[in-house]
Amino acid sequence: MASYKGHTAALQLPLENGGDANQANNKGWTPVFIASRKGHTAALQVLLENGGDVNKASNKGTTPVSIASQKGHTAALQLLLENGGDVNQATNDGRTPVSMASYKGHTAALKLLLENGGDANQADNTGHSPVFVASQEGHTAALKVLLENGGDVKKAKNNGTTPVFMASQKGHTAALQLLLENGGDANQANNKGITPVYIASQNGHTAALQLLLENGGDVNQATNDGRTPVFMASQNGHTAALQLLLENGGDVNKANNNGTTPVFIASMKGQTAALKLLLENGGDANQAKNNGCTPVSIASQNGRTAALMLLLENGADIHKADGQGLLPVWIAADKGHTDALHTLLKAGANARKAEWSGQPALHMASQKGHLAVVRVLAEIWPLDRWPWKMFLMGGGAASELQDYLMPPANRTMRNFLPRLYSKPDMMKEIWKYLHKPRYVDVGQLDGHGRTAAQLAAQQGHMDIVEVLQGLGVDEGVGVAADDGDSD
């Protein structure tokens, strides 16, 4: 306790009466260790004068020199070194006093250690060198001292990660600049093939990325699994980093080993700003993965409506199926993504032909209880309600009505005259048309001869049954039995 509090007088008395200066607690901390840890130089002096062991380590192998270095207690450290403290004795996990001072950025302690024979390159058990940990923590002053004393700028840890890599990952631009000025390699990859350029792009550290590119960093060097810096900036939505990569020759369409392109991954993650940038720079809106899945398919699967709209504006094919034969419109219906589904339908996707394993889109949505999806698929013409206005106004002829009901891109402008009230047959046709689902046949049978209403009833989705029956499903058709056959 006297060592902990630094009470020199209280410490002196028991030592003069046979007290043990080296008796440790249950952590293996001796009085010398504790005084060094707290920076109590006077108490430490007393302990050393009375037989205190300057190098006795704790249970974790931490010596008084190590703990004084870690805490930055330079005066205590000086005293320990003057009394035989081992400047390079490592902990159980291999950390040296130099490494500890470097990690904490204690420059004065670090200088003292190096002046007394400290090793600037001795790494711990996982390969972390003093230069590495100083770079990791962004301690530029400590890093400068290490490099001036022979620190190896390229020494990697066991997994191949270098100091340059670590400074890039953390965005420590000043440390990175110092490393590159002293021979650091902007392209040295770790064991997974990940480069400093890649990791800076992944984390959106634009200033570090700029510095790497100015020092020869390879903008297209891929990892072992084929991911490029452009890919990672796109995945994480780091638009500024992505812009910088593209300006320096980044390949906008280079895919990874499974065929995933930057456009695909941005669509998958819903990184709309990055996707827009990719498409503006030649990104392929239709390039599929090795399994046939397209950017439109993955955006539909994940409900990324904004990304989907961007893809469609840039020529994406909404009719292209994936490797399993699934159309984007079926996928959106299956996953319950109403907005994405509506976007596809408005763009001309054919929900009537979209099926998989005998299951049309309407049937799958009904079976899964996606009421909102069913409402979209069974939507009556038209969503914007203009034909209702035309009906209420009256007038027009069959040709005029047909012209109005054309897709908007093919529609011509007409004046509709109020004549319909004198044409009851026309009124009936309009009423019938307005209550006809636009996108699906609600009475369509699946591969087992079941209607969507039957599948919904089988799963207890009676709200969907009510919607479908209200649109003309034969109410006399029985609910499908458990074996998949109709009654």
What digits encode the pLDDT tens for the residues 426-443? 556 555 555 566 688 888
pTM of the model: 0.83
Q: What is the pLDDT of residue 208?
A: 98
Q: pLDDT per residue over 87-130, tens digit each?
A: 999 999 999 999 999 999 999 999 999 999 999 999 999 999 99
What residues pair up with 380 in beta bridges, in sequence order?
437
**What are the tokens at 164?**
């340059």
Q: What is the pLDDT of residue 420?
A: 45
Q: pLDDT per residue over 393-427, tens digit each?
A: 444 444 445 554 444 445 444 444 344 445 556 55
If you ran DSSP here, which 8-state letter would residue 379 be given?
P
Alpha-carbon gap, residue 206 to 209, rounded angstroms: 5
Q: CB of 462 within 8 A of CB of 372?
A: no
Q: pLDDT per residue over 374-386, tens digit each?
A: 988 887 654 344 4
Give mean pLDDT, residues 66-71. Answer: 97
Alpha-carbon gap, residue 251 to 278, rounded angstroms: 10
Q: If DSSP codes are grouped into helix, strand and coil, which group holds residue 429?
A: helix
Segment among 14-28, 336-350, 363-377 with least mean pLDDT: 14-28
Q: pLDDT per residue over 246-274, tens digit each?
A: 999 999 999 999 999 999 999 999 999 99
Q: Which residues of 328-359 are buried (b: 16+ CB within 10 A; e: fewer)?
A: bbbbbbbbbbbbbbbbbbebebebeebbbeeb
C-alpha distances (whole Å) from 301 to each of 268, 304, 326, 334, 373 are 8, 8, 11, 8, 14
Would you list the DSSP string of 175-235? HHHHHHHTT--TT---TT---HHHHHHHHT-HHHHHHHHHTT--TT---TT---HHHHHHH
Give mean pLDDT, residues 352-376. Answer: 92
Q: What is the pLDDT of residue 101?
A: 98
Segment among 283-297, 352-366, 420-434 with least mean pLDDT: 420-434
List all residues 6 or more positions away from 288 whose beta carbon is below 8 Å from its beta carbon.
259, 264, 294, 297, 320, 322
Give mean pLDDT, residues 150-175. Answer: 97
Q: CB of 143 within 8 A of CB of 176?
A: no
Q: What is the pLDDT of residue 352?
A: 87
Q: What is the mean pLDDT of the chain?
A: 87
Q: What is the pLDDT of residue 478?
A: 45
Would you list the DSSP string of 23-52? ---TT---HHHHHHHHT-HHHHHHHHHTT-
Residue 21 reports pLDDT greater than 80: no
